Chain A
């Protein structure tokens, strides 16, 4: 920092507002992207509750299923799903920036790195669904 002198008594330091992230759409998108982590944690909580109910027996599990059908929980899960997909999409789209993959000296375009991620996502999701839905 430049020290104050006779001719330059002081400089002005603007305080960063608590609402800096509302000032530009890009900043808000960033905060929403980071907030998706909260819904990741929620999904884990739901999973753990489900395992717990499963362990306690069919009656408890049926009760848990009913809980999942209640409007409040359903709404929360819809919002959560949106944010979790938002997390996945923004994650896969940003991955190419972090990995500069070069082939024969030329940098591969982003889609060459993001593409395989999306494909893996599709394949893995299909595998999980198949395990749960068959038989």
Chain B
């Protein structure tokens, strides 16, 4: 269930995020928002919630999908405890990290 919602969320939102922050702004195609403006946007509670949901669900989507890719692609299902810890644990860790970072924005 987390997998499918995560899939929709990551499909809808990550492309534009990466396009802008990963390419358009660094390469100067578009003017990035100033530091002050970006901080103002991000510190808004709605943005914090939005970013938390985006990061957390995308990570769970990755975890679930990568787990099956490892099982089927590399046939290492016998390592499934390790894989589960890495995938779902990783997603939980990332979620916790996101929560911490978003909470401590000034």
Contact = CB atoms under 8 A, between A and B. Distances in A.
Direct contact between the two chains A and B in their complex (CB within 8 A)? yes
Interface of A: 16, 18, 21, 31, 34-35, 37-38, 40-41, 43-48, 50-52, 54-55, 58, 61-62, 65, 68-69, 74, 77-78, 80-81, 84-85, 87-88, 91-92, 120-121, 124-125, 128-129, 131-133, 135
State the 4 A-B residue pairs at the shortest beta-carbon distance, nearest first.
Answer: A77-B22, A88-B11, A125-B16, A37-B65
A40 B10 contact: yes
Contact of B17 (A16, A38, A58, A128): A128
B73 A55 contact: no
B85 interface: no
Interface residues of B, number: 52
Contact of B13 (A35, A52, A58, A124): A124
Nearest to B76: A18
Interface string B12-41: 111111111111011100111101011101
B16 A37 contact: no
A18 B55 contact: no
A48 B97 contact: yes
A43 B58 contact: yes
B11 A51 contact: no
A81 B16 CA distance: 9
A92 B15 CA distance: 13
A84 B14 contact: yes
A38 B42 CA distance: 25
B92 interface: no
A55 B21 contact: no
A47 B11 contact: no
Contacts of A47: 17, 21, 51, 54-55
A69 B38 CA distance: 18
Contacts of A132: 20, 32-33, 38, 41
Contacts of B94: 41, 44-45, 48
